[in-house]
Structure 1
Amino acid sequence: MFFVALILVPTRELAFQTSQVCKELSKYLNVEVMVTTGGTSLKDDIMRLYQPVHILVGTPGRVLDLANKGVCKLTGCSMLVMDEADKLLSPESLPSIIQVMSYLPESRQVLLFSATFPVTVKSFKDKYLQKPYIINLMDELTLKGITQYYAFVEERQKVHCLNTLFSKLQINQSIIFCNSVNRVELLAKKITELGYSCFYIHAKMVQSHRNKVFHDFRNGACRNLVCSDVFTRGIDIQAVNVVINFDFPKNSETYLHRVGRSGRFGHLGLAVNLITYEDRVNFYNIERELGTEIKPIPADIDRAIYCQ
C-alpha cells in the first residue's frame, strides 16, 4: 500500500483526534484515512493496509513496526507531517523518526508543527530540511485569552485549596495536572470522595480504557479530568475553560502546553497554579522564559474572564 501523506503525532489520543479531523475533510476530497497506534491490534492494522489508504495518521513506534514488516510501504509517500514536533524530535523519539524517514523518498516534503521551538527542532531542521520556510505565529497566539493565577500553599493544603476552587469557580470542564501517575490516581480518588464527578487518565492505563475515558470526557460525561502530561499535546476540547496545575510543571514548555488546554477555538480560559515553596525557582523561570505574568489569585474571580 502506498500513501500520499504520513502524519506522525506523539500520543495515541492525539492520533485518534487528528484522524477524525482528516476523515471529516476526506469526505470532500475522495481520500481514505487510516489511524494506527500502539496498544491496538497489529493484525487488524495489517489487514486494513490491504485496502486503499491515502493518509496514514499514527504514532512513530507503530508506523515503524509496520514499515519494518514491509506492510506499510512509504516509498511513494510525498509528504511527512509532524504535529507536536518538539515532542517527536526529543531524544527518546528521534531515533524512531529517523528510521521512519529512511523509508520515505528523497523528494518528500516535511512539515513540522509545534508551539515551541527548542534546539532539537532547530537541529533537525538544519540537518534534514532543504531551504525550509519558517512561519511563526506565536507572538499572536501564546497564552492569548488565558488568565493565569497562582495560589501559594503547603503541600498538605492542596486538596483543601482545590475543593475551594471547585466551590467558587464556574467550571464547564476542567483538566487537573499532576506530575506522576500515582498522584493522578490518588487525587482522582480524593476528588471523588469530596463529592465531585471525576475521571482520570495516564500513560500506564490499558489503551482501551484510555480511549473510553478520552471519548467520554470529550462528550461531556464528566466535568473534571485528572491527568499526567500524556494529555498536554494538542488535545482540543472546546468545553474546557479551567486548567489547574495541582503539581506545578518543571519547565516552560510543559507549562505552555498544559495551560493551552483551556482557551481553545478562541474561547477564554483560566489557569490556576498551586505553588509550594519548592516550586519557587521553576515558577520564576517559567514567567521569565514565557514573558508572562502569573498573578496571585484574588478572593473573587470575575467569571467574564473565563466564561462565555
Structure 2
Amino acid sequence: MNNSRARYPPGLGVGRGGGTIANPNFQSRVPHQQYVQRGLMQNHQHFQHPQQEHQQQHQHQQQQQWLRRNQLPAGDSDVDEVEKTVQSEAVDSSSQDWKARLKIPPADTRYRTEDVTATKGNEFEDYFLKRELLMGIYEKGFERPSPIQEESIPIALTGSDILARAKNGTGKTAAFCIPALEKIDQDNNVIQVVILVPTRELALQTSQVCKELGKHLKIQVMVTTGGTSLKDDIMRLYQPVHLLVGTPGRILDLAKKGVCILKDCSMLVMDEADKLLSPEFQPSVEQLIRFLPGSRQILMFSATFPVTVKDFKDRYLHKPYVINLMDELTLKGITQFYAFVEERQKVHCLNTLFSKLQINQSIIFCNSVNRVELLAKKITELGYSCFYIHAKMLQDHRNRVFHDFRNGACRNLVCTDLFTRGIDIQAVNVVINFDFPKNSETYLHRVGRSGRFGHLGLAVNLITYEDRFNLYRIEQELGTEIKQIPPHIDQAVYCR
C-alpha cells in the first residue's frame, strides 16, 4: 500500500461539505525517523487489525473524491449538474413543507356569488410572487385570486397604469396591495408606494391589510391622516418607510414641509378614485402628483367612474389598462326591499326589523350627524347594543369605535355616509337606510357594506312620501328593482 497522505490538504478528514474533522495521523513536519518507521509499517500491513484497515480505506476513498472534485475546472459541467440537482431537491422539499407550516385560518364555507367565484382558475403562485408575500396571502385566508385580482395583479406587476372598475367587496384592496408589496425593494429605505384613500377609517383598514399581507417581509408601512398628530407623523418619517397610506391633504402637507420625500415613489394607488377626484380632494391629489417622478405608475380603483375620473385618466395616465368588471351596477347577492312608512313610524319599524331579522351585524345609515346620535340613543333605549360614528367625532374615538365594531363588540352601528367608502367588515349581513339617500352613487356604496366578498346580504330602505321620487330615480339609474318588503323574509337570502 502506497502512502500518499502527503498529497492531502492539512488536517483533512471527511472532505468538503460536512464538518471538517482533523486527521488524527497528520503531523505538519515528519521527522526522518518516522519515514523509516513508515516504511516498516508498509512492509507489515498484514499485521493491522481488520477494523482499522477498513476505516483507513474508507477515509482514503473520501479524500480521493475530495481531490478529484477540486482538480476539476470551476465551470465543470458534472460538478454543476450535481450541485444543481442537490439545490433543486432542497427547493422541492422546502416548497412542499412551507405551506404546511403556515397558520392558515379555517376555510370560509359560506355561499359566495359568481362575481367573486367566477375566476379563470389561477393560483397566487402563478404570479411568481416572493415566498414571504405568499405566506402572508395564505395566512390572511386568501385561497385563490378573485376576478379583479386576476385581472389587476399581473398587469400591475408589469408597471402599466390601470383604471379598474369593480364592485364593492370583491377584493379590490388586495388587488393593489399585493403588487405594491411585491415591487417594493425592502433594502431601499425610501417611500416607494403611496396609497391614497378618502377617509381616515379606510386608511387604517388599508394599512392593516398591507401589514397583514406583508408580515413576513421587512416592509415598513405608515398610515397618516388628518386629525392625528402632525408632529408624530414627522418624527415617524425620520424612520424607514416603504409604503405610505393616507388621505391626500395630510400627505400633501408633509410633502410641502419637505419631510415626506416622494422622488423615489414609483407607484401611486388611488382607492375610491371617484371620491378622491371630487372637488373636496382633487386639487390636493393633482398637487401631490407633482412631487412624484415622471415615470411613476398610477393604479385607480373604484366602483363608479364619473366624468371627473375619465378627465383625470386622460391627463395623468399613460396608456392605461382598463378593467371593467361591472356589467351591472348593483351588487350581486344583495336582496333589496323598501318599507313605506311615515317619519314618526321609523323607530317602531326598526324595532320590528330587529326582532324579525337574523342579524350578524348591521349598519344603519342616517343623513345627518344629529340624527345619528338621536337614533343611537333610541336603539339603546329599546334594549339593543349600538355604537355610532360620524365625522364630527374625535379621531381617537372614531378609531376605537371602528376597531371595536369590526371585532364584534357590538351588533349594530349607526353612521353617516362617512362609513360608505370601502369599509370591509364581512360579518355585516344587513344594511338599513333609516334615511334614504338622494343619489344612486351613495345608495350603491351604502348597500355595498353588506354582502362583502361575494357573500349574501340584505338591504332595507325606510321610504317616506318625500323619498318616493328618489326611490324611482335610483331604480332607473341602477337598472334594478327594489321590492316592497314582505311579511316574512327567508333567512336563506341573506344568511347563507
TM-score by length of 1: 0.98
Contact 2:329/2:478 (<8 A) preserved: no
Aligned 8 A contact 1:2 1:75 in 2: no
The match for 2:66 is: none
The Cα shift of 1:141 comes to: 7.6
1:294 aligned to which of 479, 482, 486: 482
The higher relative CO (CA closer than 8 Å, separation ≥ 6) is in 1
Q: Return the letter of the residue paired with 1:198.
A: C
Q: Which residue in 2 is equivalent to 1:14?
A: 202
Displacement of 1:29: 3.6
Query: In 2, distance between residues paired with 1:5 and 1:200?
Result: 33
1:88 lines up with 2:276 in the alignment = yes
2:431 corresponding residue in structure 1: 243
2:451 maps to what in 1? 263
Deviation at 1:303, TM superposition (A): 0.3
Structure 1 residues 140 and 153: CA distance shift in structure 2, 3 A: closer
Which residue of structure 2 lines up, in the alignment, with residue 195 of structure 1? 383
Q: Does 1:168 align with 2:363?
A: no
Structure 2 counterpart of 1:57, from 245, 261, 276: 245
- Deviations for 1:7-59, whole angstroms, at most 9, x for unmatched residues? 00000000000001101122244321111111111111111111111110001
Q: Displaced runs of 4+ in structure 1, greater than 3 A?
A: none
Structure 2: distance between partners of 1:223 and 1:260: 18
Displacement of 1:266 in angstroms is 1.9
Partner-residue secondary structure (3-state), 2:461? strand
Equivalent residue letter for 1:163: N
Q: Distance in 1 between matches of 2:225 and 2:407?
A: 22
Matches within 5 A, 1:20-99: 20-99=208-287
Look up the equivalent residue of 2:256 and give its one-letter code.
N
Kindly indicate whether the alpha-carbon contact (under 8 Å) linking 1:198 and 1:222 is maintained by their aligned counterparts in 2: yes
Q: Distance in 2 between matches of 1:128 and 1:29?
A: 31
Shift of 1:245: 0.2
Q: Which amino acid aligns with 2:380?
A: T
Query: What's the % identity of the aligned pairs?
Result: 84
CA distance in 1, matches of 2:324, 2:216: 29
- Which one has a bigger Cα radius of gyration? 2
| Greater per-residue strand proportion | 1
1:148-163 equivalent positions in 2, closer than 5 A: 148-163=336-351
**SS of equivalent residue, structure 1 residue 257:** helix
Q: Is the 8 A contact 1:2 1:72 kept in 2?
A: no
The superposition leaves residues 52-89 of structure 1 with CA deviations (integer Å, 9 ceiling, x where unpaired) of 11110001111011001100011111110000000000
Q: Letter of the 1:44 partner, please give it.
A: D
CA-to-aligned-CA distance 1:247-293 (integer Å, 9 cap, x gap): 00011100000000000122110000001111111111111111111
Tell me if structure 2 keeps the 8 A contact 1:252–1:286. yes
Q: CA deviation at 1:155?
A: 0.9
Do the aligned residues in 2 keep the contact of 1:19 with 1:33 (CA within 8 Å)? yes
Output one character per residue of 1:191-239: Cα deviation in whole Å (capped at 9) or x when no partner: 1111111000000000000000000000111000000000000001011
Letter of the 2:246 counterpart: G
- Give the deviation of 1:2 after TM superposition: 3.0
* SS, match of residue 15 in structure 1: helix
Secondary structure in 2 matching 1:76: coil
Whether 1:178 aligns to 2:366 is yes
Deviation at 1:140, TM superposition (A): 6.6
Give unmatched runs, 5+ long, in structure 1. Answer: none
**In the alignment, structure 1 residue 214 sits paired with structure 2 residue 432:** no
Gaps of 5+ in 2: 1-188
Distance across 1 between alignment mates of 2:280 and 2:227: 19
For the residues of structure 1 that align with 2:265 and 2:329, how far apart are their CA atoms? 32
Cα contact 2:330–2:480 (8 A) shared by 1: no
Q: Name the residue aligned to 1:279.
A: 467
Partner of residue 105, structure 1: 293
AA partner of residue 131 (structure 1): K
1:252 equivalent in alignment to 2:446: no
Partner of 2:322, secondary structure, is coil
- Tell me how far 1:139 sits from its aligned partner: 2.2
Does 2:209 align with 1:3?
no
1:134 is paired with a residue whose SS is strand
Whole-angstrom CA distance in 1 between matches of 2:343 and 2:307: 34
User: Which amino acid in structure 2 is aligned with residue 195 of structure 1?
Assistant: G
1:130 and 2:318 correspond = yes
Residue type matched to 2:204 in 1? F
Q: Distance in 1 between matches of 2:313 and 2:487?
A: 47
- In the aligned structure 2, how far is the partner of 1:123 from the partner of 1:235? 27
Aligned length: 308
Q: Give how far 1:142 is off.
A: 3.7
Whether 2:225 is the aligned partner of 1:225: answer no
